[in-house]
Structure 1
């Protein structure tokens, strides 16, 4: 019988002597119709990776082609929901089959029978072009869903669309193309996940993605449309860091991809995001969030798909004119899935067993980020923040090193800092951001030129403190003169009072750029006054004994986010203390 299974090796299935399938074609395998994708075609063998558990299928089972690529359904009903790596709705599956997923689930990727109140932006006789917004609906309380003309449609609307309630399986418009052929434009559209959506133009990156996390916004900023790697060993806080970024960054929409992570972490995301009130909208954060869950106990092949599924959804909302942040946790698990599939395909392994094409796959993933001018002349962006989980915190392993090649922001998480309960545990000596030059005009125009000047001084102090601490380890602090002891004291204030942040404190979990600037001003004012104090020949120890350094460290808790004028009291306190001991 044609198109039957010849061999099975985990998620890899092979067929012999068939010419019916094309590369990247989506297929259904066996009687349960397990979803798979053609990943290799030769004269004799066709190889398929199956995105579901292959337990129970056998040699001789039928494989059916679809003549289409693995795709996602793009329509209202994506936000507020959780999907698996191939966009199967986990909530709907749980309602139908219980908490355990059945094989080959035939539930629609999105509820196509739900009615939505549609408002049309075009009428009969209008000329429409690819990517144009032709209708809108309220997808959630905070996000307007904008329906887009498909990228292969250009012509004149020949139907008379009327506002009202429609199901997503309906057709929305009839358009007469330039060759006089009339086509239907459906509400719900399909898009292949491994194909990037087209844009009018990729723009220069110039706006920061404000996160409210001081160590990022001040020292290592990321731009809207930028890419960042978040590497760290077990227990360094990668997932919690991504939770914080998802909660507080100023993106319009969050796409959170749990790729090969523990199921309880995704449960925590679901519960937390549902309870958290979005500071921008005062609604639940889930109103503008979509979760893609491919946990560690799910089929390994679907990990690769989950990354691309999340990216395609992000690009879809970008094309509506939104700024989207993609959190991928973790790309190391995705790379491990590539390694496992590559091993089963008996491909020649490269470093540490990873396939030779690992760098190009990582590059393709991060290159889909960007700040763009959409086909409908709006501005949108996709920012990608990928967590990396190097075994034993070894940043020289292939996934971390290749990721470093393709991202412009590197937030290295430090096990030592994490064990000291210093969060976010970003090591300021190993991390970097290449976006600073691109963002300088924005900081100078919309905030203050002093912000980057303060940052430069703080970075210099931290670098000098790092050198001095090496001397202290060898010889003790008593050998240092007072000006160098002051560097260590101010470094401590910067580390504990500025870089360390409490995610559970109402005023410290998120800090505006204005407050960050004022905090830096106070710290550097203390540094200047203490330096002048020592230049007058006074002993630094007398100033330390006043407790002024500890007082400044506590300002992150003592100054509420809506009462920034309280910072004036710190200048007065510093002046008062210095004068009292002169």
Structure 2
């Protein structure tokens, strides 16, 4: 079915004669076949958002309805590929057509020529349903791509054969439904079904001490990282993409500056995965939509990325989705809403902004997958936000805080002091702390929650003492309080601060995190005991123990743990003597 263009307003087109179309259907607009999506229906008129530049489009040109919603292609070949917001393969476009995307250019997201070695794991005559694994493909050296029966299908396998296939060739046949291929398609605005959602009781290990110790994130949880310009949002997400314990990384560059995305595209292919030593791109999918690309495609890039993440989650993998940044997505939503002449809300954003944000964050989670009761997967969402002027009271940040399970607030003052990660621990929070405490107690140390509580209390006491120091000066502060200030500064500089360029300190295992903090807190207790026994504070501050604590973060994990145990034992013995 086709209609006719009667109005053009930027990336928004109004077409008449679209009685048979449906909401969110994919359409081809004009002679050049620009990709678009139906976003409003009123009688025979359909409002379409076009994902490409509409310059040169004319009234009266045809709009062809594809009869299906905007979908992404899912199958072997996703890993290591760079897509734009509507899943066009940018590396293929660059190789065949140059650095600029021609208007109306359509290419399949996945190669139709490459053959994949398919190994069956199910036998003919087996009853299968949605989510059942029928075979595997070795997509990269470490990632096994599991070929699943698409959700909604069930029946008996009549035939299945191993061999080398393209993604469109049949690999199995299902009675009543025909052939199954390596390729699936899924609407981007529809979440993939799961068997059961599981509670957030397993942590998402980041390797960053301020996160894992003070502000833990659950596997399958959601956290937002708001911060002003230059506070390190992109650096935090890239660090997590490299060092966090996730099987698959989906990185979405939504509306960011071209130079930042250029850095991502040039660095990621050369980064080594610390866990395997292989290229990081072998477990990464990049969805890139820079600020100079059409604004409507920016709005879709978030959904393209989360759909790919859900696909790998259904295979039983832990997926980390990095969205940088959600503010640019919200700005695209605001622009489209304005062209639809909808009633604006706060700061011009649509009134349904909060519900759209919540709908996106709800697609994260730790789940029991369809098809096999023992297969579990997770999608953990880390969303960067760029509030104008660093104002956290603006609508996108506030709407995200209400929907997400954690807040890692970036601080410009810490960033200017080269403190990384520049997390303001006073403004940040995590709703997963108590749910994760049993895991930390059994897997790391029984007193992990107690140690975190002591650290938070020490940082709060330091803040209170700093107010006193500003009034009366450091010389008027009693020695017992001064030692608290000195040890707190030591913890801030040597524990909460990490060196992203250090091979040892860029990521810190949980065992090392625990014993580092344990030794530093024991040093505080030791100094307080020595002061009571008459030891001068200057002697304590010049103690070799302090120098050892300062060097501890650059010590390899096993050596650091042994060193911390020895220090704690020696301090306790001397304090008792």
Shorter-chain TM band: over 0.9
Q: Name 1:59's counterpart in structure 2.
A: 59
**Residue from 229, 236, 259 that aligns with 1:264:** 259
Aligned to 2:315: 320
CA distance in 1 between counterparts of 2:435 and 2:177 reads: 46
* Distance across 2 between alignment mates of 1:544 and 1:501: 23
Among candidates 396, 401, 414, match of residue 417 of structure 1: 414
Q: Deviations over 1:88-131 (max 9, x none)?
A: 00011111110111112221111022100000112322211111
**How is 1:323-342 mapped onto 2 (pairs within 5 angstroms)?**
323-342=318-337
SS for the counterpart of 1:41 is: strand
Structure 1's consecutive aligned runs of 4 or more residues displaced over 6 angstroms after TM superposition are 575-579
Q: Deviations over 1:330-377 (max 9, x none)?
A: 000000001111111111110011110100000000000110000122
CA contact (8 A) 1:218 1:455 kept: yes
Structure 1 equivalent of residue 435 of structure 2: 438
* Counterpart for residue 147 of structure 1: 147
Report 1:432-511 matches (<5 A): 432-511=429-508
- What is the deviation of 1:578? 8.1
> Conserved in 1, the CA contact under 8 Å of 2:347 and 2:395?
yes
Show structure 2 runs of 5+ residues with no match. Answer: none
The answer to whether the 8 Å contact 1:3/1:15 transfers is yes
Asked if the contact 2:4/2:17 (under 8 Å) is kept, the reply is: no
Secondary structure of 1:327's aligned partner = strand
Aligned to 2:96: 96
Please report the TM-score for the alignment, with normalisation by the length of structure 2. 0.96
Partner deviation per Cα, 1:138-185 (whole Å, 9 max, x = no partner): 1011100001101121111122x2211011111222211xxxx34222
Assess if the C-alpha contact under 8 Å between 1:388 and 1:400 holds in 2: yes
CA offset digits 1:48-107 (Å, max 9, x no partner):
001111112111111000110000001100001100011100011111110111112221
Residue equivalent to 1:106: 106
SS at match of 2:295: coil
Distance 1:52 1:480 in 2: 64
Q: Partner of 2:129 in structure 1? A: 129
2:302 equivalent among 301, 307, 313: 307
1:521 equivalent in alignment to 2:523 = no
1:304 Cα shift?
1.4
In structure 1, the residue matched to 2:277 is 282
The structure-2 alpha-carbon separation of the partners of 1:2 and 1:413, relative to structure 1 and needing over 3 Å to count, comes to closer
For residues 128 and 542 of structure 1, the distance between their equivalents in structure 2, rounded to whole angstroms, comes to 73
Q: Does 1:234 align with 2:229?
A: yes
TM-score w.r.t. the length of structure 1 is: 0.96
Question: Superposition pairs for residues 546-557 of structure 1, below 5 Å?
Answer: 546=543, 548-557=545-554
Q: Does residue 533 of structure 2 align to residue 536 of structure 1?
A: yes
Residue 166 of structure 1 corresponds to: 165
Worse-superposed segment, 417-426 or 465-474: 465-474
Once residues 151 and 303 of structure 1 are traced to their aligned partners in structure 2, the CA distance between those partners, rounded to angstroms, is 28
What is the rounded CA distance, in whole Å, between the counterparts of 1:545 and 1:468 in structure 2? Answer: 22
Q: Distance in 2 between matches of 1:431 and 1:568?
A: 31
Q: Does 1:83 align with 2:79?
A: no
Shift of 1:571: 4.2
> Are 2:161 and 2:172, in contact at CA under 8 Å, matched by a contact in 1?
no
Q: 1:64 to 1:81 in 2, by over 3 A?
A: same
- More off after superposition, 565-574 vs 99-108: 565-574
Quote how far apart the aligned CAs of 1:542 are: 3.1
Question: Which position in structure 2 is the counterpart of 1:224?
Answer: 219
Helix, strand or coil for the counterpart of 1:117? strand
> Which residue in 2 is equivalent to 1:35?
35
- Aligned partner of residue 3 in structure 1, secondary structure: strand
How far the C-alpha of 1:9 sits from its partner, in A, is 0.8
Q: 2:556 aligns with which of 551, 556, 560?
A: 560
* 2:68 corresponds to: 68
Q: Given that residues 120 and 162 in structure 2 are in contact (C-alpha distance below 8 angstroms), is that contact kept between their aligned partners in structure 1? A: yes
Aligned to 1:49: 49
Whether the 8 Å contact between 2:73 and 2:184 is mirrored in structure 1 is yes
Task: Return the match for 2:240 from 240, 245, 260.
Answer: 245
Could you tell which deviates more after superposition, 416-425 or 569-578?
569-578
Distance between the aligned counterparts of 1:115 and 1:237, measured in 2? 41
Which moves more between the two structures, 120-129 or 360-369? 120-129
Question: How many residues are aligned here?
Answer: 574
2:195 to 195, 200, 203: 200
Spell out, residue by residue over 1:439-459, the C-alpha distance to the aligned partner (whole angstroms, 9 max, x if none): 111011111112222111111
CA distance in 2, matches of 1:251, 1:314: 12
Given that 2:207 and 2:509 are in contact with CA atoms closer than 8 Å, whether structure 1 keeps it comes out as yes
Q: Distance in 2 between matches of 1:174 and 1:301?
A: 39
Q: Which one of 287, 294, 298 corresponds to residue 292 of structure 1?
A: 287
Q: Which moved more, 1:445-454 or 1:391-400?
A: 445-454
